[in-house]
A and B are shown apart, each in its own frame.
Chain A
Amino acid sequence: MASDWQPDFEQLVDEHQSMVFSLALRMTGDRGLAEEIAQDVFMELDGHIAKIESQQHAIFWLRRVTISRSTDALRRRRVRGIDLWVEMDDNHATPVEVQSTPLGSRLESLLSTLPEAQRAALILRYQEDLTPEEIAATLGAPLATVKSQLQRGLKLLRAKAESELKEYIRAV
């Protein structure tokens, strides 16, 4: 029962830090910024914890706020005229995780070149395994828009991957 659920902040941080950090990292492509966003999101959760009704509500809230704060951070950076991706390459290049396949890792880095809305939809679809309906609810966007973003994002990513990997295969 939702009313029986007592939110434990520390436990929520423990359970969902990887989700929040990964969402922020894939949205921004910057480890340092992603960690800052994750901290801010959890601080915001602390302020709203009385309104959180269940574990599912907490997860939904965290995904929604993380995507939103990441988008805000990217916008702020753009306004300040900082080229985030150049900065990422210079300072915060993320090491390839050992559990990822080489193609998976390359797809992950290619994802960062997609438009924000498509990136957010694809991250929620393939990292969080959400349905288009759940993504629409999380992003507060119409279902048709989300479906279109998923299709366009996937198509664009596939096209980028094909051209990039052909070059890679040629080089190998």
Chain B
Amino acid sequence: MQFEQPFEHIDEFERELREGLERRAAPPSLKRKVMERRRHERKRQRSRMIWFERIAALLVVASVAGSVVAGHYAIERRKGEEAKQQVFTALRITNHAFQVMNRQLQERDRNSQ
């Protein structure tokens, strides 16, 4: 009988173990399930990528719009600064003219006295 003296030789035991541990066939559905999960995963990744792209595009548009607005404000501020400088220059010129006129009037007063 096969079981009576099974362990006389280690080789025999190991041979039996090797036979007992032969690879089993995978369930027939395994490959199909793996391929379905892969397709599903790819689809999810694609839709995630589309969302990332949308968000990235939105961020680009927002930053472009922001920089346009910021640029516009900078131009306006610069124009304001220029106008302010022009007003100051005009005031300085006026002030200078008044000073000259004042000096001339004082000289004329002195001469008339």
Q: Which residues on A are within 8 Å of B, measured CB to CB? A: 9-10, 13-14, 17-22, 25-26, 31, 35, 38-39, 42-43, 46, 97, 99-108, 111, 122-123, 126-127, 129, 154, 157-158, 161-162, 165, 168-169, 172
Q: A101-B19, A103-B3 are contacts. A126–B31 as well, Cβ < 8 Å? A: no
Interface pair A21/B21, CB less than 8 Å apart: no
The smallest C-beta distance from B4 to any residue of chain A, in angstroms, reads: 7
Q: With A46-B41, A123-B21 given, can you name 6 additional A-B contacts, CB distance below 8 Å?
A: A38-B34, A43-B41, A101-B2, A102-B3, A162-B7, A165-B3
- Interchain CA distance A109-B75 in the complex, whole Å: 83
- Bound together, the chains give a CA A162 to CA B18 distance in angstroms of 17
B110 at the binding interface (Cβ < 8 Å): no
Q: How far is the CA of A133 from the CA of B2 in the complex (A)?
A: 33
- Count A-B contacts at CB 8 Å: 112
Name the segment of B9-17, B49-57, B60-68, B85-93 touching the other chain: B9-17
Taking CB atoms, residues of chain B closer than 8 Å to A107 are: 16-17, 20-21
Interface footprint category on B: 20 to 34
- Stretch of B22-30, B76-84, B94-102 with 4 or more beta carbons under 8 angstroms from chain A: B22-30
Inter-chain CA distance A106–B17, complex, in Å, is 9
Most B Cβ at <10 Å: residue of A10, A43, A100, A103: A103
Please give, as numbers and ranges, the residues of chain B lying within 8 Å of A129 by CB-CB distance. 18
Contact between chains at A17 and B18 (CB < 8 Å): no
B35 is contacted by which of A10, A22, A102, A172 (Cβ under 8 Å)?
A10
